Structure 1
């Protein structure tokens, strides 16, 4: 059944801070991640439309929220149940069921991941009877609780590690991110179709380019021919992979290789001309430095994302705005990274379990 048969879709609009300031009123303006941007005198729905669902059209896509009060929406779309289906659906079921579908059908609009209205209307899904929806919701709730607990433990471990390291740094010496890193731009053309059309036919790994996605689990998306023109890539280097939407700001260290990203990720690397300034003399020391800076950067990039209504990481702004400690490579970094390597198994356990939960939530878990 098509989603447009069940819901009326209001794509929403963009509201500026100035418009809110000049038109004060009682109605909250919700952003894509369900935060209140302000209050003004307009509304996007009527009382009879409640309850309904909202979701971000850009950036933090794959998340839905149930709304019970009148509101307006900034870069946020609204799914309003049609009267014929009010008694046949449970909005909580759609809240859990639609996120993975949304992530699969997203397009790109000027480099920003985007949920196009026409695509959303054409989403086709099997609508189970109410009783089965209730059963699935019970299972979804349990899985969601497990997922949130795992995320909490992972974040707590990361924050504890980064906090202990930052406490030992000389906070008087600082630099912006762009002083020690450069980035490789995304490739909007490397969709699934784009990768398929440029599959590498070479058995020589030196002639292949690993295409990376913005996934928080398996970032490897496919391989394309090294000789493909007009592709932004990083050749034969180690680097940091950074997600720009979803879990925006999340970093992953990548061993030496040749990489390109699709529209949902960037690559951060250290230019070799910066090695001397950073006291780096070889790739082994660069590897330690990258892993160390990943720990420092992770909370800072999450903070940068939290400033955005769209829930995305604008890398060009981050390079100018994110301030990091001015560090040079030293042997103490080796000790820290060796300690973290011992803790890595705990991260891997958490990440593997998160991946399993996500896959379970994507399936029909009640027969």
Structure 2
């Protein structure tokens, strides 16, 4: 159905379809029930105070804003794809695979992906009482995060922040927690990172008070913590890391090699011999003397008659200095454009 202006599904009203249910309108308001096997809504704006249900799929595309009130429920038994300019959720948005894309997302309700949850946004505000939860993996990409509620994945949690992050509450993953921050990961109070595996790469994790990195709230050891060319720091508290494997290393090394040969030298060693000028050795205690030898025997046809021979013999002083000649030289330089890794506490560091 296509309506150019507005559709109001009033209280106790029902829109039911065993196949595809398609609405295209300017503004959509729902106070009743809309259920289809595959639910498709295209609108400028939408408000849901009741139920939008897709048995196998829900696809919502808005050019403007979507408001899901505290009584509102948007649910899919399969994939739930959501695209809008802004989303304000105080109710429940749930799907087997939940993909939400918006410029601004404000959540004080529940965003739930049963097998996967992916959020792509410029600004995410998860207010107190808000739950962003995946029963398996969670992918989060945002420039700004105001995290006052719960952000949890039972599987892997991969979070990418394109701006410095101010963090106030809990972020947890049942398996791997990978946080990539362009700037600082800043928590002014006590920070708890609960995960089976934490990777901090080229970032800064900063807690104003205590910092805990472990598997769960009970203090179980996680599998690994990798701090690579990054900083983990507290300003006024302790750092407690409970893990089976802690790796703190610098990455991004560049190795360059240069070879110097003897082509530019006056003396060029070749094989097992060397040719030098004797006057180059005088300052090192080396010299020579001359010996004249007279041969009175008749010479050959080329040298008739007696001949003189003059020999230059090497001479070494009793006190001499060592003279070395370069045969070849290789210089290996190892550099890294990245900062060194650091784990720094204003108080104590505990590795358990």
Aligning the two structures, in what range does the TM-score lie when normalised by the shorter sequence? under 0.3
Query: Which of structures 1 and 2 has the bigger CA Rg?
Result: 2
Higher helix share: 1
Higher strand share: 2
Q: TM-score, normalised by structure 2?
A: 0.20
